[in-house]
Structure 1
Amino acid sequence: MKQPLLLLLASVMLVSCSSKYGSKLEATEAKDKWIKEGGSITTLETDAVCDGGVLIYGANDNVDCSKPTEITKMNRKCINEKETHQFLCMEMKQDGLDYTYFKY
């Protein structure tokens, strides 16, 4: 008798921990909050393709490959997977990408 009760209790707890939202609006609000809480990162980039400091391809022939520009970006990004009714979100970390899902 105890085993079915424990199984039911475990099932209820798993459902309550789910990231499933009641609507797309709720999932969007949660996703937007998650993105803002992730902060931003600063990277060094050029608008050209350089190899060993030599310009291979660029929008401007006057690009100095030795002086990249600091670009600040949000640390977290999401895409809407309409087929699966969820937002697939990625966070850039030093050891790679970390994924989070917001289902609606």
Structure 2
Amino acid sequence: MTGTVALLVLLADLMFPQHVLDQSLHPPFPVPPEPRLQTDPAADMAAYQAQQTKWLESFGWTDRASGIAHIPVGQAMRQVARDGIPGWPSDKDGKK
């Protein structure tokens, strides 16, 4: 058994001679290229949700040149419930 392990180590040493070139990295570590992995996914998700919530609850231009704006989602839902969607069949039309 010991002889087999020694033979495998020797075989691996012959098959992978570049292992001699491996070296330990010491701080400061090199910065990997973009895109980088998240270091704090929970904080990233919280920031993303805060940004999206702020956008959903605000007024603003989506495309000012075309005259397209966005309104708070709550207001939009009340407006659709009150007025309906143009061209959308309603119960008033006798269709269910």
The TM-score by the shorter chain falls in which range? under 0.3
TM-score, normalised relative to structure 1: 0.22
Question: Which is strand-richer, 1 or 2?
Answer: 1
Highest RCO, 1 vs 2 (Cα 8 Å, sep ≥ 6): 1
The structure where helix makes up a greater share of residues is 2
